[in-house]
Amino acid sequence: MTSPSSGAGRFAPSPSADLHIGNLRTAVLAWLFARSSGRRFLLRVEDLDDRTSREIGERQLADLAAIGVTSDEPVQWQSDHRDRYERVIDQLVEAGMVYECYCSRKDIAQAPRAPHAPQGAYPGTCRDLTEAERDRRRAEIGRPPALRLRTDTFSYTVTDLLHGEYTGLVDDFVIRRGDGVPAYNLVVVIDDAESGIDQVVRGDDLLSSSPRQAYLARLLGYPEPTYAHVPLVLNADGARLAKRDGAVTLAEIGVQRALRRIADSLGYRATDVEGMLAEFDPARLPKQPWIYRPD
């Protein structure tokens, strides 16, 4: 183990469904990365969305505790910290760094793009509207607008412990949705900085979001975290694991069997997290997705 760090790692599930074996494996890896580097380990429940449930969140925390993944500090629930996000949004508004966006997804998909704009980038439709044009668009859409960050680049490079240097898209991304909910890319950056989290371990499906988040962290004066995006767990068809794939939740698999399957997938002999920690070496982690087949 390396010398102790003042930073922290974390696992931050969204309580929209019970954790499946892939989520549990990522949680174990996040715990292993933090513990092996002398960091604190924290849990955060990302429950701002209306599709989430406090009851499901409590079940997720119980499942994590059952496999030995617990938080060194009280668990944070995002819904308890809306004022934290609104303060930052207000600061960005006052600094002229955001603008209202009235576009629907269809508008964005059909909008013409400048020749130099990267594929998938927001086309900037609402970026330079006059006040009169904004008034007209507000009246036309009949719903609150989203807020977008006014960025000064199309890309940003992060360093990932598993993927090396990764350069990804940074467009004028949404920081508050039209329904008033602070957006994911904003709240995770604020929460990580508030909790002293300097190591982010999560599934590699989120690698593409890390340049936006690192860019925003720099913009807000926060330290950029170290990233490690680990391979996902897929079903036998090579698709993302889902409930239809059979026994995938801890209640269905059982604690000991789940830990054994996770350990096997990582090439470890131990079948508890403390034992896995003794064998943990980031350089030897599998680079390919784990194909999960129920016993």
Residue-wise pLDDT for 105-164, tens only, equals: 888 888 877 666 677 789 999 999 999 999 999 999 888 999 999 999 999 999 999 999
Judge if 73 and 144 occupy the same domain: no
Residue-wise pLDDT for 163-190, tens only, equals: 999 999 999 999 999 999 999 999 999 9
**Does residue 29 belong to any structural domain of this protein?**
yes
Q: What is the pTM of this model?
A: 0.93
Give the pLDDT score at 256.
97
Judge if 63 and 93 occupy the same domain: no
Give the C-alpha separation, 172 to 184, whole Å: 14
**Does residue 191 belong to any structural domain of this protein?**
no
Total number of domains constituting the chain? 2
**Does residue 66 belong to any structural domain of this protein?**
yes
The residue type at 72: D
Residues of each annotated binding site: 10-14, 46, 101, 103, 122, 126, 184, 202, 243
Residue-wise pLDDT for 41-97, tens only, equals: 999 999 999 889 999 999 999 999 999 999 999 999 999 999 999 999 999 999 999
Which conformational region is residue 106 in: left (phi greater than 0), alpha (psi within -120 to 50 degrees), or beta? Answer: alpha
Which CATH number do you get for residue 279? 3.40.50.620
Give the C-alpha separation, 47 to 78, whole Å: 6
Closest CA to 216 of 184, 245, 254: 184
Residues of each annotated binding site for Zn(2+): 101, 103, 122, 126
Statement: residue 202 has pLDDT above 50: yes
3-state helix, strand, coil in the chain (%, to 5): 40, 20, 40
Residue-wise pLDDT for 268-280, tens only, equals: 999 999 999 999 9
Given 153, 176, 199, the domain boundary residue is 176
Give the C-alpha separation, 295 to 284, whole Å: 25
Residues of each annotated binding site for L-glutamate: 10-14, 46, 184, 202
Give the pLDDT score at 116.
67
Residues of each annotated binding site for ATP: 243
**Domain range enclosing 59:** 8-80+231-291
Give the pLDDT score at 115.
64
Asked whether the beta carbons of 244 and 294 are under 8 A apart, the reply is no
Judge if 92 and 163 occupy the same domain: yes
Residues belonging to the chain: 295
Judge if 46 and 100 occupy the same domain: no
